[in-house]
Amino acid sequence: MIDLLRRRLEGKTILLLGFGREGESSYRQIRKLFPQKTIGIADRQSGIPERKELQGDTNLEFFCGDDYLDAINRFDLVLKSPGISLAGVNPPVDAEKITSQTDLFLEAFSGQTIGITGTKGKSTTSSLICHILTIAGRDAVLLGNIGTPAWHFIDRITPETIIVDELSSHQLEYIHRGPHIALLLNIFEEHLDAYASYLDYQLAKLKIATTQQAGDFLLYNADDPVLQEHIRQPESLIPNPISHISHLSTNIPFSFSEHTGMGAFKRGRELVVRVPGRDELVMRELHNRYLRGSHNLRNIMAAITACRLEGVEEEAILDGLASFKGLAHRMEDLGERHGIRWVNDSIATIPEACMAAMQSIPGVDTLVLGGFDRGIRYDALARFLLGDPVRTLILVGAAGRRIGTEIERIDPSANTRKNLFYINRFDEFLPLALKHTRPGAACLLSPAASSYDEFRSFEERGFRFRELVEG
């Protein structure tokens, strides 16, 4: 990896586009390799030059403020952080000069990388895969979108290390080499504020597959309608559908429907997994697992299939599934207080995730949802909630108002059957939940909306929910 960085960066002017956690990591590594190289740093935040770690470095150029993207064309190579969107930049950016930690990391380590992407479930699936590999005694590292920049592990990786890399659409958008084992979990409407269209978002996700090579494996959710459309239409006008690269990677589906050939599927109460080079694995569907819900069962099937490709045996898989307790803010059971069970599912930023949580958690009497309105559709969620026994809906912010308006548009008498409360600030949910949730029932935070109206992230929103409940 170090030799690759020397070759790729030597003699070029370098711009770090974005100076968050990943930008800081890139700066430290480049400065170790090139102590005297002038590095550009571009970020919307004007206070970047005052950062403590940058003091005393006289070989820096700063481009901060609202016009920070104007610096792109001044440099030979741009290392883009995932949080920076180039959609709508005029004139359009030359894609050949854009790279990233993920792009260069996969160029060096793709052959030993399991890459996971999807609108929902990628953190859980990535963490579960790494957990099972560790239980099996493998040298595994977990990095990427889950929170640790890839370059943080450069000195830690050996030829035996299995790299589990959670990949967002922003990280995939400019890669040139896909991972050896790629997992495509699902695609829903999300992050549309960062893309020119929903199709552009889909194509960014699909880069995990369209950049694979011969001998690689693509594990995909055969029950996902968007993925089905890309796979089943070889003559589609969509650029680079998965079917166009099937001669390069080996496509392995996972599905709730039984099928012949390679892949994973349900057969009655059994999970069946078939992958090249391994014996068929038949497992009883686990009921003592911590990961609940049909969506998590698909995540489990994907994780098992990836681990079987790495040669993990059934005993380690069972031990890993039984001991993996899931991640914070993902249907996180906070226990019972004041006779109410509280569940934190702040990660649910789209309607499909909210509906999956409602189907997985028994006895939800109060649902807290809403937040920042990104313009996604809520008609299906409104119909679902009208048909669900949940009695109290606490609707937060602009997205909450739009969800409630959609419910009342579909059924003008909804207020006679359900309690609809509209609130402007997130913290206002607690007294309403305490008053209207029946004893022994659950209050669920599953917002179906982004958190950016009041919080910097879904994690911050989830921590605030937990803080209020526990207080």
Q: Residues 426-469: pLDDT tens digits?
A: 999 999 999 999 999 999 999 999 999 999 999 999 999 999 99
Same-domain pairing of 273 and 338 = no
- Give the HSE-up count for residue 450: Cα atoms under 13 Å, Cβ half-sphere: 14
CA separation for the pair 125, 298 (Å, rounded): 9
Same-domain pairing of 391 and 244 = no
User: 256-265, long-range: CB within 8 Å, 24+ apart, which pairs?
Assistant: 256/223, 256/294, 256/297, 256/298, 257/222, 257/223, 259/222, 263/222, 263/305, 264/301, 264/302, 264/304, 264/305, 265/301
Same-domain pairing of 171 and 312 = yes
Q: What is the CATH number of the domain that holds 71?
A: 3.40.50.720
- Using an 8 Å Cβ cutoff, are 364 and 393 in contact? no
For the chain, the domain total comes to 3
Helix axes of 294-309 and 122-135: crossing angle, nearest 10 degrees: 40
Express each pLDDT in 139-187 by its tens digit: 999 999 987 899 999 999 999 999 999 999 999 999 999 999 999 999 9
The residue out of 42, 70, 99 marking a domain boundary is 99
Express each pLDDT in 320-347 by its tens digit: 998 888 878 888 889 999 999 999 999 9
**Which residue's structure tokens are 């991640």?**
327
Same-domain pairing of 142 and 106 = yes
Question: Which tokens is 149 given?
Answer: 């920049």
Three-state DSSP class for residue 61: strand
Q: What is the model's pLDDT at position 95?
A: 86
Express each pLDDT in 343-384 by its tens digit: 999 999 999 999 989 988 889 999 999 999 998 999 999 999
Q: What is the model's pLDDT at position 64?
A: 96
The amino acid that residue 77 corresponds to is L
The residue out of 70, 99, 128 marking a domain boundary is 99
Same-domain pairing of 411 and 337 = yes
Contact partners, residue 377, CB within 8 Å, separation at least 6: 189, 351
Pairing of strands 113-117, 181-184: parallel
Question: Which tokens is 68 given?
Answer: 């920070």
Q: What is the model's pLDDT at position 286?
A: 67
The amino acid that residue 219 corresponds to is L
CA separation for the pair 282, 453 (Å, rounded): 46
Residues of the chain with pLDDT > 70, as a percent, come to 96
Same-domain pairing of 110 and 187 = yes
Distance of CA 414 to the CA centre of its chain: 34
Same-domain pairing of 272 and 357 = no
Q: What is the model's pLDDT at position 231?
A: 77
Same-domain pairing of 461 and 417 = yes
Same-domain pairing of 37 and 138 = no
- Using an 8 Å Cβ cutoff, are 120 and 350 in contact? yes
* β-strand partners of 212: none
Same-domain pairing of 348 and 311 = no
For the chain, the first-to-last Cα distance in angstroms comes to: 48
Q: What is the CATH number of the domain that holds 430?
A: 3.90.190.20
CA separation for the pair 299, 357 (Å, rounded): 14
Same-domain pairing of 59 and 85 = yes
Q: What is the model's pLDDT at position 330?
A: 86
**Residue span of the structural domain in which 364 resides:** 332-470
Q: Of 407, 402, 405, which is closest to residue 449 (Cα–Cα)?
A: 402
Express each pLDDT in 116-139 by its tens digit: 999 999 999 999 999 999 999 999
Evaluate if residue 416 carries a pLDDT over 60: yes
> To the nearest 10°, the Cα dihedral for 323, 351, 389, 379?
-160
CA separation for the pair 121, 168 (Å, rounded): 11
Q: What is the model's pLDDT at position 243?
A: 46
- Name, of 92-96, 269-273, 291-295, 397-401, the range with top average pLDDT: 397-401
The residue out of 31, 64, 99 marking a domain boundary is 99
Tell me what the mean pLDDT of segment 224-232 comes to: 84
Distance of CA 357 to the CA centre of its chain: 17
Helix axes of 314-323 and 294-309: crossing angle, nearest 10 degrees: 140
- Give the HSE-up count for residue 270: Cα atoms under 13 Å, Cβ half-sphere: 8
CA separation for the pair 222, 242 (Å, rounded): 12
- Specify the pTM: 0.80
Same-domain pairing of 246 and 393 = no
Tell me what the mean pLDDT of segment 254-262 comes to: 93
Q: Of 290, 294, 361, which is closest to residue 328 (Cα–Cα)?
A: 290
Question: Which tokens is 19 given?
Answer: 């100076």
